[in-house]
Amino acid sequence: MSIPKRLQIKLKPGKEKPVLNRHPWIFSGAIDKKSDDALKDSDAGAIMDVLDHSGKWLARGYFNYQSQIRCRVLGWDQGVEIDVAFWEARLDQAFQARRGIFDPKNTTGCRMVHAEADLLPGLIVDRIGNYLVLQILTAGMARARNAIVEALVRVTAKHFGNDMLAGIYERSDEAVRAKEGLSQTMGVVWGNPPPEEGVVIQENGMNFRVDILRGHKTGFYFDQRDNRQAVREISGGAAVLNTFSYTGGFSVASALGGAKSVLSVDVSGPALALCQENVELNRASSRDLHHEIMEGDVFEVLRKFRDDGRMFDVVVLDPPKFAQSAAHVDRACRGYKDINRLAMQIINPGGFLATFSCSGLISADLFQKVVFSASIEAQRHVHLVRHLSQATCHPILFSFPEGNYLKGFLCRVLGENK
């Protein structure tokens, strides 16, 4: 009986360099045309070996002819098969990489697997209290789902004890799945369903109720954990405006940092209701805080405040991704400039602006230029006092710089630029 030959992808001459440098993506343009054509009818997400043009083995990954990213590399060791033991080793490495970056006594929510950065392309796992929330973005990962769940249960028991895990819930309802030919899916994949009323987690001692079933993405934006701490530190006695507040991450951080008042603005009513509840959940540590919510479009709200002369000491700008594709970068920059200019115009001299862009296509350099133009138009001198990035549970792998998506500046907005 002959062992069936594993499917292979052959690269064009000279296209092996990124693979050797551990970049996990192989685009259609890097693949030898004949080899690519031959794989037209292969199963989406099938495991394949990647060879250089001379036939030398380079890596192993999963292939999807439907995606421009034809192959995502899983490993660079020819002796390692992609089986349950492989997933377990990779997940264990990801969990291990989060040891020591947060104190489990006061932080019970954290990203545990950050896709490509954890050598698990297309897979996201967030811990939300006693639940894990799984998000699968590619056909290759979708095929491996059962093995991954089995491995996750074991790895979670190893790192957090046998009794921690109540359930694993899948929130694979991202639109990008369409690029892989996948429909959206959600549901329980192990254990109990998450409670209807959500799960209360701790983050640096702050309490947040997270709606696993209906919240954005997996329910909570853990990428802002470290930046919430930065805002907490500068909120003492301040009148704070938290725009794009979602469920109040920065609102609670400012409250616990001693803010006098916080106004949380978002376009989503359910997010604001949870934001209000989250502020109340932390009331014991911020008794005198005056908190208000406002449902509306931040662009309009900022313009109105500017026209009315309503001023704040701290403004947080954490908008959703404005640049969805390269074609949107210019328009996105105009949007960022607009809100940053308006925010600077309503900050008391000496006050702070915490401003972010989560558009991967906009570099930190470009974002800095945008904020600079905003300061010129706002006619204010502005200090960049701290560079902000994604939280330590969203690490950036050096071989995958595309994973560096969240950039921010903590700015001190001085007086008029005379």
Long-range contacts of 330-337 (CB under 8 A, 24+ apart): 332/359, 332/361, 332/362, 333/362, 333/366, 333/370, 335/299, 336/362, 336/367, 336/370, 336/371, 336/374, 337/370, 337/371, 337/373, 337/374, 337/377
**116/123 Cα distance (integer angstroms):** 8
Length of the chain counted residue by residue: 418
Closer CB to ligand SAH, residue 299 or residue 372?
299
| Residue nearest to ligand SAH as judged by C-beta position | 249
**Coil, helix or strand at residue 276:** helix
**Residue 197 in tokens:** 């009323």
Closer CB to ligand SAH, residue 269 or residue 350?
269
Least distance in angstroms from the C-beta of 132 to ligand SAH = 19
Rg (CA), the chain: 23
Closer CB to ligand SAH, residue 91 or residue 240?
240
Least distance in angstroms from the C-beta of 88 to ligand SAH = 32
Least distance in angstroms from the C-beta of 358 to ligand SAH = 8
Task: Tell me which residues touch ligand SAH (CB under 6 A).
Answer: 221, 224, 244, 246-247, 249-250, 266-268, 271, 297-299, 318, 320
Closer CB to ligand SAH, residue 138 or residue 264?
264
- Burial environment of residue 330 by CB neighbours within 10 A (0 to 12, 13 to 18, 19 or more): exposed
On whether the CB atoms of residues 270 and 245 are closer than 8 A, the answer is no
Taking 3-state DSSP, the helix, strand and coil percentages for the chain, each rounded to the nearest 5, stand at: 35, 30, 35
